[in-house]
Amino acid sequence: MPRDQELAQGIIRGDRESVVRLTREELDAGREAVGILNEGLIPGMDVLGERFARGEAFIPELMAAAKAMNAAMEILRPLLEASGVESLGKVVMGTVKGDMHDIGKNLVCMMLRGAGFEVIDLGVNAGAERFIQAIEESGARLLGMSALLTTTMSRMGGIIEEIRKSRAGAGVRIAVGGAPLDLAYANKIGADGYAKDATVAVECFKGLVAALRTP
């Protein structure tokens, strides 16, 4: 079986041990961390998500898969975050209120750090107040919001509105992401940016930095 399929199968089975072993072996063989993620681990999550939607997989399987994914991410973290470049800016990042999914958000945080951003990670379940408090305290001009549920996605517009109405939030550039979103939805709710994955998210935030610098 090709290595990416083995990695994906390991995630689907929630087999932490084999996912960790395969991830290490791929790195030792000279494979890039981003390739392991995008071509092996994330496709496994997607397959499991589709099975769950069809009623063929259940919460304990999703939890086991998430544990295996997190174990692999711990190995990849130092490689994704390694960066000697000057800070590109501060980003406040969080998963919105009511939503406990944090794998994608954590990946975006890692990739941003690797690209030279300073990231203030609020974790999960973040409402407007926490976002506003974090930008007040940190002085960040960039903010990222993640949602994986259609219910929590629909709260993002209101949170953006509240942030923009606050003193600290005026002029802050906001990007959104998460599996149920797309560019049209991001535009509809007044976000300044959207990215479909963590690699594109880095480009998205670089674009927002450039936009902050041009009056």
- Interface residues toward ligand B12, by CB under 6 A: 42, 45-46, 48-49, 52-53, 59, 62-63, 65-66, 98-105, 107-108, 144-146, 148-150, 175-180, 195, 197-198, 201, 204
Residue 188 C-beta: closest distance to ligand B12, Å: 16
Q: What three-state secondary structure class fits 30?
A: coil
* C-beta closer to ligand B12: residue 4 or 84: 4
Q: Identify residue 179 by its one-letter amino acid code.
A: A
Give the whole-angstrom CA distance, residue 194 versus residue 177.
6
Residue 185 C-beta: closest distance to ligand B12, Å: 12
Find residue 176's DSSP bridge partners.
Answer: 145, 194
Residue partners of 167: CB distance under 8 A and separation at least 6 = 136
Token representation of residue 132 = 């506003």
Distance of CA 56 to the CA centre of its chain: 26
Find residue 210's DSSP bridge partners.
Answer: none
Residue 178 C-beta: closest distance to ligand B12, Å: 5
Q: What three-state secondary structure class fits 11?
A: helix
Residue partners of 206: CB distance under 8 A and separation at least 6 = 88, 115
Residue 167 C-beta: closest distance to ligand B12, Å: 23
* C-beta closer to ligand B12: residue 33 or 48: 48
* C-beta closer to ligand B12: residue 28 or 124: 124
* C-beta closer to ligand B12: residue 80 or 175: 175
* C-beta closer to ligand B12: residue 28 or 210: 210
Residue 189 C-beta: closest distance to ligand B12, Å: 13
Residue 47 C-beta: closest distance to ligand B12, Å: 8
- CA dist 214 to 35, 82, 211, Å? 34, 29, 5
* C-beta closer to ligand B12: residue 1 or 53: 53
